[in-house]
Structure 1
Amino acid sequence: MNLACSLSYQETEVSLDDYKLESGFQLDLIAAEPLLVAPVTMSFDDTGRIWVVEMPSYMSNLEGKGEEKLTGKIKILQDLDDDGSMDHAKVFLDSLYLPRALAHVYGGLLYAEPPYLYFVDIENDSPTNRVIVDSLYAAEGNPEHQPNGLMMNVDNWIYNTKSNFRYRRIDDVWKKEPTTFRGQWGISNDNFGRLYYNDNSTQLIGDYVLPNRFIRNENLIPKYGVHKRLTNDQRVYPMQPTLVNRGYVDGVLDADSLLVNVTASCSPLVYRGATFPVNYSQNVFVCVPEANLIKRNILSFHGDSTSAKQAWEGKEFLASLDEGFRPVSLANAPDGSMYIVDMHRGIIQHRAYASPYYKKKAIASHIDTLMNYGRILRVSATNAKIHPLKTQLNQEQLLNSLNHPNGWIRDRAQQKLIQNPVPEHIPLLKSIVKDDNKPLAQLHALYVLEGTGQLSFEFLEAVATNCNPEVVVHAVVLLERFVSKEHLEKALQLFLKLQRRNDTVINLYIASTLGSWAKVGQQQLFPIIGQFLEYNSSNFILQEALLSGLSGQEEALLAYLDVDSIPEYDFFKDAVLRSLDSRRSDKKNRIYTGVSLTEDNRTKGAKLFRQICASCHGINGDGIEGLAPPLINSEYISESAERLALILLHGLNGPVTVNGERYEFNQAMPGLIGDETLTDKDIAGIISYVTNAFSDNPKGISIKKIEELRKVKSKSGGEFTEQELLELY
């Protein structure tokens, strides 16, 4: 790494006439090439400067050549003349390999450069004291499917997408622990601390509950509380015909060649600023770069679940006729507005998945020549007073900033109070936590106390009697740190008192914690658990919450409840029995099965599998819910090598049945036939590897046969369907 010279430019003038924004808002250009090129994400520092990650080697040409070049950078953008537009760039880090994420935390910078996750201190705008936080953060593979995001949540943990790990630094020691596997590109949180993400073909996914509440039982795979599609509406309303990878498939484009549903959605953002109209608070905006637009979704909270709906039919929050407009990331800002990272690149489909149709259309339209651009745009309400980004968070302002209407300010104030604790703040923070007149500040103050080790059972017990249900819930969760026989009776009385409030969200989290307290008092807790089950026999989310906390006590509870005589317990009983069977066979939730698979690294097939296939099917071949079926015990792996070769070459369009279970995905597995870098020998190597690694029937296939199968076409000319494959092999 090195620190390049500072660069200043005359501000680039870019017309925004081709952009259509919702009435009541304005769109401004904040930065443009040559100040930055191919930006993919950004972060603000404490003084409001923009730090941006550049990935210029990603698809810099239609063949994807040069991807391995060390051209990535992290830059600091500044507005030296205070006119609202960036005019100065300073390179903080250069010569990076496909950097993809960054976050300002702990007074330094956390950033991802495959395969590593690094943390550096910042001294005079220079990186110092570099530490490897995770040496296996983003294993070698397709850049479309590698961990990214890096977002500090209110609970003081750093979350990311395309990953099942979260991170935190305590006493200068970095911690890494399993969490729910989430999304593909970009992550966001609401004021309560729930997480939101998505994948290419599903514009908005989220967890109904706080992170890690439903995964404490290693043998339980939750189905009802996490990784939930929040809306079935994937419609988009672009202003112009769109080039997409599977545009040749019926239903992808309409009669006017307009995209019908999302195919590359990414980077959802829960708006938590304070300058948009009040009905925009905690709306979720979603990038749809393939259609040159940004969607708006309205969230509804139901206590034990969340749903979303598109704000409008027939139009978008922001859409453009500019085919280079590629919104790939969004950010809440210190000034209360929303910032858009526009990669502004013609080709964003990775070469590994690019279809012949896509390549042919790209060449004909010359969109592949659109490169060496990059923009940052700002969306603000037309009547809002936008203050300069240079908003210094001074130490004397931090406590008041916990109650700031802008979520970015609150988040950063929380971090800074933890980073530099002041003993005199402790009683003031405790007062804020108990003050129902400051609902925005309560959770932030609570987690400042958590982050500085100032919590006690007695304090949390008092907080749990608060009027604000969201504060009550977090106090109940944090009380688990003090599970002991000494505190059992008081905790029991607290839960009974809270239960009488008959609040849906409070009851859900009480259910989630009862099992943890039962470990020191089954005799006292099992009757309450039985009561919860009796009153919530049809509430599968609440029952799943109960199961999560019961790890190791399932058999004892079944014996106590005598569930065989009570039909209302059927769901709970079945779930418990599945969990017990998994424990006996040592089958854990895949997030606990380690970070890598023991593979035959000597073969090209193993390397290619990690690069191309593992991002969807999992490094262990377990599959990823909502994205791809498992390879282990799959008849597609253990039976016909020719059928498997057809799938690898030409792709597979669902639904598909694997090992007796039907998988209905809202997307197709793309074929590799369009990747000219993959030879017939490479395809044979992948088949050799996967049949050996994920089945008891290893097999090979000749290069000559693969050459023949390249010429076999489906009825559509694109991906095969399951029925077509079964008719052939």
Structure 2
Amino acid sequence: MSKIYGCLLLLVIVGCGKKEYKDKIYVKPEIVREAPSDFLSPEESLEKFYLPEGYKIELVASEPMVNEPVAIAWDGNGKMYVAQMDTYMQNVDAIGEDEPISQIKLLVDLDGDGKMDKSTVFIDSLLLPRMILPLDDRLIVNETYSYDLWSYRDTDNDGVADEKIRVYENPKRRGGNLEHQQSGLVWNLDNWVYTTYNPLRFRFNKDGVQVDSLVGGSSGQWGLTQDDLGNMYYSSAGSEIAAYNFQIPPIYGDLNPEGQISEGFMEPWPVVGTPDVQGGAELRLKPDGTLNKFTGVAGQEIFRGDKLPPSTYGDLFIPEPVGRLVRRAKVKNENGKKVLYNAYDEAEFLASTDLNFRPVQAQTGPDGSLYIVDMYRGIIQEGNWTREGSHLRPVILRKGLDKNIGRGRIYRIVHEDIKPAGKPNLLDKSAAELVDYLGHPNGWYRNTAQKLIIIKGDMGVVPKLKEIALDNESFWTNNFGDQDYALQRVHALWTLEGLGVVDRNLVLEKFNDEDYRVRIAAVRLSEEFLKKDDQGILKALAPLQNDEDINVVNQLALSLRYSKSAEAEELSSSIGKQYEDNEMVTASIGLGIKAKDSDFLKFKERIANSSRIHKITALAGYDIYRQTCVTCHGPDLKGVPNGENSLIAPPLIGSPRVTGDKDVLVSILLNGLTGPIEGKEYGIMLPMGSNDDEWIGQVATYIRAMNSASMVRGKEVGEIRAKNSDRKNYWTLKELLN
């Protein structure tokens, strides 16, 4: 099995006064600088892993049962859906990548031993499926380059979907390359389903699908997860940011204070050399040949299971497929600000010397364990990064990574002293029976039970939910053992909300709950009444300005935006003065002000005197920019800091490449850009030429409008595209400006 760590003591955790777990990290081995790229069998690959003492990695499924897996999800009975990108980078030029032949597999563990025994093709002929969300016996699916959501169902129980219904339609093709597509489809605590890169959120219930927009849109790239209070954790490989926008629920906008990632956190500690890194050895490798900064962060997960040592609960696990490792981050709340720390000193939770180990997703399983999806392949970077002239292409060809395709593994992390739970059995339970699972120690059960109750829409459970919510105990013992009863109250409140019941008297009562998490939930639920300027609610909220927990005060600052009354403005101002030294509270108040005067409205004012066609084009470009470009160039177009006193991408405000000759800007958008810009190296600007002329013209118009420059018409883009139709590689500025 995997090698275990055995020297440096991290911490000692006592789990509820019962079992003492010592978390020891391994003595870092000598780095394998040039590991072979040969495929290994699952058994051989298991020998290449390093884990802390006491932890074990077990194989759940492998090829040919799964191939090119990228995402997993379980239905209420523990059947596992696996999204596969069967055409992803099957060669160095990505030829055939857009063929609709990818699949979603359905895997079943027949004997309950944790290893999958049966695999069927649940859905065939898909275009790179990215997002999967099991509801009841339905699976919601989204494919690449599409906004549409489809519901699939197996009506005859043969493991193959035979019903297909579109539940959300947007006829527009989603622009951008593979890296700039949506992911997630996470059913949040607040009963809305969130994705990355999409300014929309969705709500599913027995009546269908409801769609809502987000104040600040949505960013992030591959991967999305939530904590116990519904705070989402995003990440961005393009911006090389391991985690961001996790301070507050996304409905309130973006909030990323300085210091939310601790010093040194962005440095990974692989155990194998990393030759295939974008940017090349000089920019991205340490002297020992290993990665010097996170670059491929993906598929992160707040672990909320109950079958690993208690110290792991609430930790953020971040797969890094380029570094062949998984980071374990401790999330510490420091005066209202969540700060990420590496759980280990110059080491990682999981690391491998197998060059084909490509962890792309972590998930909390129904059995309480931590699952890792390993795409297990040679090339992990998308084709726009592997073109002629890139740093990657010569390495890929030298190591033969382009030949390593068509496999995949799914693992689970367990602890030698804790037995994983068995398979769940929730789909056939009544809503009343599901209510009991809102107090389960495994967050997977709590969220799944809440989801199923809401989908069933059985109002007969409302009295029972209110009874649970009204209790005021911290811990209790039920069929699942010792429980954090406050979390059950939180789920009861939000389940009521999902059923359309936000009881005013109950909300008022819960302002005084003994647990801060329940008070936070109550403040959020009060927003429905704040929107109606309910003065009684506002008066009852006022004492929370002095709440003993700063997180409650911060939530109050966020929620007050929903009241337009002078009293709410006065309370918000008072909070601002009282907590002027707390960056989180003052930032939250600022977000409330910004929500009333958003960037979008400011931009509309900016182009108010432009022609009608200019306005239409620029506003369409605003949406594209927010969904595609913002992770590198920033919402203000001034570039995103990379933590190294430099920027991920060059500023677009005041750039002569933006304000000058349209040919230069359009050519860069079509074919990309490499090489130095004004003496600085930024890496590669990815080509966007796979999008149509109108799309290119729209985003170019927005960027130029932000610089008070004229619009770019689709016809102009077409002419520039035709002029350089033979161009396959990135441009350099030297070429463009000569």
Which amino acid in 2 is paired with 1:475?
A
User: Cα distance 1:233–1:99, how it changes in 2: closer, same or farther (>3 A)?
Assistant: same
Quick one: which of 529, 553, 556 aligns to 1:482?
529
Which amino acid in 1 is paired with 2:558?
S
What SS does the corresponding residue of 1:42 show, helix, strand or coil? Answer: strand
- Give me the whole-angstrom Cα distance separating, in 2, the residues matched to 1:249 and 1:577: 42
Does structure 2 conserve the Cα–Cα contact (< 8 Å) formed by 1:187 and 1:195? yes
Quick one: which of 42, 53, 56 aligns to 1:26?
56
Quick one: which of 558, 578, 588 aligns to 1:535?
578
Pairs within 5 Å for 1:51-90 = 51-90=81-120
Which amino acid in 1 is paired with 2:349?
F
Does structure 2 conserve the Cα–Cα contact (< 8 Å) formed by 1:341 and 1:377? yes
Shift of 1:476: 1.3
Aligned to 1:412: 448
Say if 2:399 is the partner of 1:365: yes
Quick one: which of 542, 562, 565 aligns to 1:496?
542
Aligned to 1:197: 234
Shift of 1:578: 9.3
Aligned to 2:412: 378
Pairs within 5 Å for 1:259-274 = 259-274=291-306
Does structure 2 conserve the Cα–Cα contact (< 8 Å) formed by 1:641 and 1:687? no
Aligned to 2:436: 400
- Give me the whole-angstrom Cα distance separating, in 2, the residues matched to 1:429 and 1:93: 37
Which amino acid in 2 is paired with 1:380?
V
Does structure 1 conserve the Cα–Cα contact (< 8 Å) formed by 2:201 and 2:213? yes
Does structure 1 conserve the Cα–Cα contact (< 8 Å) formed by 2:197 and 2:221? yes
Aligned to 2:191: 156
- Give me the whole-angstrom Cα distance separating, in 2, the residues matched to 1:389 and 1:433: 28
Quick one: which of 237, 242, 245 aligns to 1:206?
245
Pairs within 5 Å for 1:638-657 = 638-639=659-660, 650-651=673-674
What SS does the corresponding residue of 1:267 show, helix, strand or coil? Answer: coil
Shift of 1:651: 1.9
Say if 2:465 is the partner of 1:429: yes
Aligned to 2:319: 287
Shift of 1:175: 2.0
Pairs within 5 Å for 1:296-695 = 296-302=328-334, 304-354=336-386, 355-392=389-426, 394-395=429-430, 397-435=433-471, 436-437=473-474, 438-483=485-530, 487-488=534-535, 490-517=536-563, 519=564, 521-522=565-566, 524-549=567-592, 585=606, 634-639=655-660, 650-651=673-674, 668-670=683-685, 694-695=703-704
Aligned to 1:604: none
Aligned to 2:310: 278
What SS does the corresponding residue of 1:298 show, helix, strand or coil? Answer: strand
In structure 2, runs of 5+ residues without a counterpart are 1-40, 475-484, 609-613, 642-647
What SS does the corresponding residue of 2:435 show, helix, strand or coil? Answer: helix
What SS does the corresponding residue of 1:319 show, helix, strand or coil? Answer: strand
- Give me the whole-angstrom Cα distance separating, in 2, the residues matched to 1:227 and 1:182: 20
Does structure 2 conserve the Cα–Cα contact (< 8 Å) formed by 1:21 and 1:319? yes
User: Cα distance 1:654–1:417, how it changes in 2: closer, same or farther (>3 A)?
Assistant: farther
1:113-154 superposed Cα distances (whole Å, 9 cap, x missing partner): 131222234423434251241425871431122001111111
Question: Which of 295-304 and 535-544 deviates more?
Answer: 535-544
- Give me the whole-angstrom Cα distance separating, in 1, the residues matched to 2:439 and 2:87: 42
Question: Which of 624-633 and 233-242 deviates more?
Answer: 624-633
- Give me the whole-angstrom Cα distance separating, in 2, the residues matched to 1:273 and 1:534: 40
Question: Which of 538-547 and 453-462 deviates more?
Answer: 538-547
So what's the TM-score if we normalise by structure 2?
A: 0.78
Aligned to 2:4: none
- Give me the whole-angstrom Cα distance separating, in 2, the residues matched to 1:156 and 1:711: 44
Does structure 1 conserve the Cα–Cα contact (< 8 Å) formed by 2:439 and 2:488? yes
Does structure 2 conserve the Cα–Cα contact (< 8 Å) formed by 1:433 and 1:446? yes
Question: Which of 112-121 and 633-642 deviates more?
Answer: 633-642
Does structure 2 conserve the Cα–Cα contact (< 8 Å) formed by 1:684 and 1:703? no
- Give me the whole-angstrom Cα distance separating, in 1, the residues matched to 2:256 and 2:504: 30
What SS does the corresponding residue of 1:182 show, helix, strand or coil? Answer: coil
- Give me the whole-angstrom Cα distance separating, in 2, the residues matched to 1:585 and 1:192: 38
Count how many residue pairs are aligned between Structure 1 and Structure 2.
648
Does structure 2 conserve the Cα–Cα contact (< 8 Å) formed by 1:512 and 1:547? no
Pairs within 5 Å for 1:702-717 = none
So what's the TM-score if we normalise by structure 1?
A: 0.79
Question: Which of 634-643 and 255-264 deviates more?
Answer: 634-643
Does structure 1 conserve the Cα–Cα contact (< 8 Å) formed by 2:524 and 2:559? yes
- Give me the whole-angstrom Cα distance separating, in 1, the residues matched to 2:418 and 2:407: 30
What SS does the corresponding residue of 2:129 show, helix, strand or coil? Answer: coil
Which amino acid in 1 is paired with 2:58?
D
Shift of 1:303: 5.2
Aligned to 1:557: none
Does structure 1 conserve the Cα–Cα contact (< 8 Å) formed by 2:385 and 2:392? no
Shift of 1:159: 0.9
Which amino acid in 2 is paired with 1:637?
V
**Could you tell me the percent identity over the aligned residues?**
26
User: Cα distance 1:327–1:463, how it changes in 2: closer, same or farther (>3 A)?
Assistant: same
Q: Could you say what the CA RMSD is over the residues aligned between the two structures, in angstroms?
A: 4.1
Shift of 1:375: 0.7
Does structure 1 conserve the Cα–Cα contact (< 8 Å) formed by 2:132 and 2:141? yes
Does structure 2 conserve the Cα–Cα contact (< 8 Å) formed by 1:206 and 1:230? no
What SS does the corresponding residue of 2:280 show, helix, strand or coil? Answer: coil
Does structure 1 conserve the Cα–Cα contact (< 8 Å) formed by 2:269 and 2:346? yes
Which amino acid in 1 is paired with 2:296?
A
1:408-436 superposed Cα distances (whole Å, 9 cap, x missing partner): 01111111222224444222211222333
Shift of 1:302: 3.1
1:505-540 superposed Cα distances (whole Å, 9 cap, x missing partner): 1211222233433x2x42x44443332232233445
Say if 2:167 is the partner of 1:146: no
- Give me the whole-angstrom Cα distance separating, in 1, the residues matched to 2:95 and 2:496: 50
Does structure 1 conserve the Cα–Cα contact (< 8 Å) formed by 2:141 and 2:150? yes
Say if 2:219 is the partner of 1:182: yes
User: Cα distance 1:705–1:130, how it changes in 2: closer, same or farther (>3 A)?
Assistant: closer
1:592-639 superposed Cα distances (whole Å, 9 cap, x missing partner): x99996889xxxxxxxx99x9768679999688666567576432222
Which amino acid in 1 is paired with 2:108?
Q
Which amino acid in 1 is paired with 2:463?
P
